[in-house]
């Protein structure tokens, strides 16, 4: 039984590929179900954000390529193309990668906290769908706890330059006084909301929110003192808005080049800044061809924030050390998770086999024992039972000690080999949820900046 | 020129040269501290040049005004080029000290100031200042000259901000803005600020050019000069004025701001330099 992780991120795949791979929230239950039903796949958690897709799963001798086949089918990407952008990790590497992701060490914006909330959401979704077992439960809770340690014990998030902040910086490159420029947010996603809050903090007072559902738009607009714009009026409002932030879950562009072209005369050459932080992208890339229109997508924002990365590298180095220690500790825990059921199964089998042998022996001796008084007969039965147990214990003494030692060393593969050698079927589902690692899956981060 | 004035002029010249080099290095290497030093040095060079002008005023009792857009060649220390160099630098320092500061424009103005200051050194001759022709004693002459100086300076400012606008526009279009808060590099002013500086420079430059043309006409028809005739420099200047007025109207009526306005300012300043060349060659 092995923990595996495959996925891609903003460094491995351009936004065009990521948007093909992105799994909308409403489709995820079906994908989880499909993956969990694959032969040899025991547990699955799926993390899909703007910047990454991660599939974390537990398998027992599953055929290679099963998960990839599901992704290829869903995304329409050829297996070769997919192969070129995917990374694959197993066991310790998978654990380490997941820990790094949760701690935001693998994020576009180093130290941002939104990814942790997103992974928690993904975990909760998988738990609700019943595709999380004891192993992934432990793994994810350890990852959440490690990420929490990173945030509390390092300053990596103290000066986080978020994608939302980068959007405001870009606006500063185009406009002088942001207070005088109307900002329109398309969609009511968390990232867009953060960007809008960034603009409000910068002094913008002319804020608008357009969303397919007016109720949700009003929900977001209220605390920010923004106005709600009917979704159907978004294109004509381009005549007024100077900054547009798009963050919807739409699969197709919600603003086209023709929409922007139609308002060019009315805008009289005023610059228009369009920031698309959605994956798939919501703003037609061809808009960029128009004069006085400046379009940026999530990857562009990533390059903007890259310049602020150096100042956080020192803290990141501390965080990496912390994460490596946490991952190593989990490896030992993981090994113990394998060891405990194996030892228990061995003990149970030893007791069961011993009892069977004692019963068979007593059955063979039955004619002789008929003449023996009952108290003597009881003593003989007890003696035989203790002898069988003692032989079993003595026989297993060395193997069990060796297995415990392997557990302490984190040698998961050798423990699995020992289990096969001893012919014991180990069920990890019997592992109890013994500890609360301080992470509640439903918890969202307070500032939640970064990935969307 | 007195020794002190000459020394101050030399200091200003060295300053303009250093500013040009520092700005070029700052832009090439994307080092904002170089641009900051360049601006400080520009302010110092401008102050030194002002010292020269002040000493000249004390020495001769009149400001060092020569002629611009005129074919009357005036030798001496009060040549137009030197004063124009100072005016350009002073306007640039003023814009750089304003809110929000637009200091990077100096990168494109400093070389022009340097060229004019060097030119002034070559053509200037303080000895001839005392022998002004009678035509140059008209009251319209200082107005004409000052207006033309101011016009050229303001068009130069529009030219500089136009270039920076195109650079910033290009960066944004290439989606290659690397400078976020806390990042290293040379942060350029926003497009909006650059367009505003361009627009104001252009509009005020046009106003002063109009005043220069009107005062020049009054000077000419007043009989102190040789009267109005349509020599090449007059035709070129009037043609430029017409084009600038049309461009200004296009901005007001058609919204020709931003990139179009930047190009107009660049081409317009080039045209003015051609006009100045006509002055130099009659």
CB-based contact A196:A207 (threshold 8 Å): yes
Whether the per-residue pLDDT at A429 is higher than 70: the answer is: no
Reported as a single tens digit per residue, the pLDDT across A60-115 is: 878 889 999 999 999 999 988 899 999 999 888 899 999 999 998 888 777 777 78
Give long-range contacts, CB 8 A cutoff, 24+ apart: A205-209.
Answer: A205/A179, A206/A180, A206/A181, A206/A182, A207/A182, A207/A183, A208/A182, A208/A183, A208/A184, A208/A237, A208/A241, A209/A184, A209/A185
| A170 reaches B (C-beta below 8 A) | yes
Reported as a single tens digit per residue, the pLDDT across B127-166 is: 444 445 555 666 777 788 778 888 888 888 888 889 989 9
B119: how many CB neighbours lie within 10 A of its CB?
17
Residue A434: per-residue pLDDT = 36
What is the average pLDDT value for chain A, to the nearest integer?
82
The pair phi, psi for residue A273, each rounded to 5°, is: -105, 125
Selected residue of A111, A167, A173 to mutate for chain B interface (largest B Cβ count, 10 A): A173
Q: At what angle do helices B140-173 and B258-280 cross, to 10 degrees?
A: 140
Q: Nearest Cβ partner of B258 from A161, A175, A269?
A: A269
Q: What is the ipTM of this complex?
A: 0.72
Contact yes or no for A176 and B192 at CB 8 A:
yes
Whether the per-residue pLDDT at A43 is higher than 90: the answer is: yes
The pair phi, psi for residue B226, each rounded to 5°, is: -95, 10
| A263 reaches B (C-beta below 8 A) | no
List residues of chain B with CB under 8 Å from any CB of chain A: 100, 168, 171-173, 175-185, 188-193, 196, 254-260
Whether the per-residue pLDDT at B217 is higher than 60: the answer is: yes
Residue A160: per-residue pLDDT = 47
Give me the percent of chain B exceeding a pLDDT of 70.
73
Q: What average pLDDT does the segment A420-432 reach?
A: 58
Active-site residue, from A50, A53, A72, A279: A50
Whether the per-residue pLDDT at A243 is higher than 80: the answer is: yes
Residues of A whose CB is below 8 A from B174: none
Look at B29-33, B132-136, B209-213 and tell me which has the smallest mean pLDDT. B132-136
Residues of A whose CB is below 8 A from B192: 174-177, 271
Contacts of B142 (CB under 8 A, 6+ apart): B63, B65
Residues of A whose CB is below 8 A from B189: 176
Contact yes or no for B172 and A165 at CB 8 A:
no
Residues of A whose CB is below 8 A from B194: none
Beta bridge partners of A52: A9
Contact yes or no for A304 and B100 at CB 8 A:
no
**Closest-CA residue of chain A to B191:** A174
- Distance, C-alpha B72 to centroid of its chain: 20
Residues of B whose CB is below 8 A from A111: none
B195 vs chain A: nearest CA distance in angstroms?
Answer: 10
Q: Nearest Cβ partner of A269 from B175, B189, B256?
A: B256
Q: What average pLDDT does the segment A42-52 reach?
A: 90
Please give the full DSSP string across A396-419, using - where no structure is assigned.
Answer: HHHHHHHHHHHHHHT-HHHHHHHH
B187 vs chain A: nearest CA distance in angstroms?
Answer: 9
Q: Nearest Cβ partner of B190 from A173, A270, A292?
A: A173
| A188 reaches B (C-beta below 8 A) | no
pTM, two decimals, is 0.60
Reported as a single tens digit per residue, the pLDDT across B68-111 is: 333 333 333 456 677 778 888 888 888 778 766 777 778 877 88
Residue A162: per-residue pLDDT = 63
Residues of B whose CB is below 8 A from A110: none
Contacts of B133 (CB under 8 A, 6+ apart): B72
Q: Nearest Cβ partner of B181 from A169, A265, A268?
A: A169
Reported as a single tens digit per residue, the pLDDT across A176-215 is: 888 889 999 998 877 778 788 888 888 888 999 999 888 8
Per the listing, tokens 């590298």 go with A313
Instruction: Establish, for the pair of chains A and B, how many residue pairs have beta carbons separated by less than 8 Å.
Output: 80
Contact yes or no for B191 and A269 at CB 8 A:
no
CA angle (B239, B242, B248) in 5-degree steps: 140
**Domains along chain A?**
2-159 (3.30.460.30), 163-306 (3.40.50.720), 338-367+390-430 (no CATH)
A50 is catalytic: yes
Q: In what order do the strands lie in the sheet with A87-90?
A: A41-48, A52-59, A2-9, A87-90
Residue A129: per-residue pLDDT = 92
Residue B54: per-residue pLDDT = 85
**Closest-CA residue of chain A to B170:** A294
B236 vs chain A: nearest CA distance in angstroms?
Answer: 30
Residue B263: per-residue pLDDT = 92
Joined together, the tokens standing for residue B190 give 């926003």
């Amino acid at each position: 039984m092995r923990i595996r992780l495959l996925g891609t991120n903003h460094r491995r795949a351009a936004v065009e590929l990521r948007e093909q791979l992105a799994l909308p929230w409403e489709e995820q239950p079906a994908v989880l179900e499909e993956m969990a039903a694959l032969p040899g796949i025991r547990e699955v958690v799926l993390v899909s954000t703007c910047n990454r897709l991660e599939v974390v799963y537990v398998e027992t001798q599953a055929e290679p390529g099963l998960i990839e086949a599901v992704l290829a089918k869903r995304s329409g990407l050829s297996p070769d193309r997919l192969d070129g952008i995917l990374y694959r990790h197993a066991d310790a590497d998978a654990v380490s990668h997941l820990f790094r992701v949760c701690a935001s060490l693998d994020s576009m914006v180093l130290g941002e906290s939104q990814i942790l909330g997103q992974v928690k959401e993904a975990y909760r979704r998988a738990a609700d769908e019943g595709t999380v077992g004891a192993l992934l439960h432990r793994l994810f809770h350890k990852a959440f706890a490690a990420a929490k340690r990173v945030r509390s014990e390092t300053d990596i998030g103290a000066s986080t330059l978020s994608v939302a902040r980068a959007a405001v910086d870009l606006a500063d490159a185009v406009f002088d006084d942001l207070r005088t420029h109307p900002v329109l947010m398309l969609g009511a996603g968390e990232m867009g909301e953060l960007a809008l809050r960034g603009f409000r903090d910068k002094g913008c007072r002319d804020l608008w929110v357009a969303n397919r559902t007016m109720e949700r738009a009003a929900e977001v607009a209220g605390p920010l003192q923004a106005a709600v714009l009917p979704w159907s009026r978004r294109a004509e409002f381009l005549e007024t808005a100077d900054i547009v932030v798009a963050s919807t879950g739409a699969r197709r562009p919600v603003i086209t080049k023709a929409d922007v072209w139609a308002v060019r005369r009315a805008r009289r050459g005023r610059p228009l800044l369009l920031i698309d932080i959605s994956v798939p992208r919501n703003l037609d890339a061809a808009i960029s061809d128009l004069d006085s229109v400046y379009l940026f997508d999530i990857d562009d924002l990533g390059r903007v924030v890259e310049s602020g990365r150096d100042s956080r590298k020192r803290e990141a180095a501390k965080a990496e050390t912390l994460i490596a220690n946490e991952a190593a500790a989990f490896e030992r825990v993981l090994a113990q998770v394998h060891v405990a059921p194996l030892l228990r199964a061995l003990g149970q089998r030893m007791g069961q086999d011993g009892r069977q042998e004692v019963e068979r022996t007593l059955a063979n001796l039955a004619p002789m024992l008929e003449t023996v008084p009952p108290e003597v007969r009881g003593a003989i039965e007890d003696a035989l039972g203790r002898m069988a147990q003692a032989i079993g214990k003595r026989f297993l003494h060395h193997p069990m000690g060796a297995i415990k030692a392997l557990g302490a060393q984190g040698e998961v593969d050798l423990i699995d080999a020992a289990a096969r050698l001893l012919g014991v079927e180990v069920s990890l589902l019997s592992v109890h949820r013994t500890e609360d690692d301080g992470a509640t899956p439903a918890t969202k981060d307070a500032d939640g900046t970064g990935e969307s | 020129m007195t020794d002190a004035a000459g020394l101050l002029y030399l200091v200003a010249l060295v300053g303009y040269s250093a500013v040009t080099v520092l700005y070029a290095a700052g832009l090439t290497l994307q080092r904002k501290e170089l641009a900051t030093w360049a601006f400080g040095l520009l302010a110092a060079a401008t102050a030194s040049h002002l010292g020269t002008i002040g000493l000249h005023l004390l020495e001769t009792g009149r400001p060092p005004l020569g002629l611009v857009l005129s074919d009357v060649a005036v030798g001496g220390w009060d040549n137009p080029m030197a004063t124009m160099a100072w005016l350009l630098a002073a306007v640039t320092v003023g814009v750089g000290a304003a809110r929000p500061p637009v200091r990077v424009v100096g990168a494109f103005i400093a070389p022009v100031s340097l060229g004019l200051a060097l030119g002034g050194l070559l053509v200037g001759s303080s000895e001839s200042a005392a022998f002004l022709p009678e035509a140059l004693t008209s009251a319209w002459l200082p107005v004409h000259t000052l207006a033309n100086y101011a016009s050229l300076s303001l068009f130069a400012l529009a030219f500089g901000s136009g270039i920076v606008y195109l650079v910033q526009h290009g960066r944004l279009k290439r989606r290659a803005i690397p400078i976020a808060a806390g990042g290293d590099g040379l942060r350029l002013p926003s497009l909006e600020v650059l367009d505003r500086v361009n627009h104001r420079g252009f509009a005020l430059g046009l106003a002063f050019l109009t005043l220069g043309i009107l005062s020049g006409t009054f000077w000419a028809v007043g009989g102190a000069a040789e009267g109005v005739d349509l020599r090449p420099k007059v035709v070129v200047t009037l043609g430029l004025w017409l084009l600038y007025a049309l461009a200004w109207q296009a901005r007001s009526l058609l919204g020709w701001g931003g990139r179009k306005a930047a190009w107009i300012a660049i081409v317009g300043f080039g045209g003015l330099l051609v006009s100045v060349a006509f002055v130099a060659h009659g």
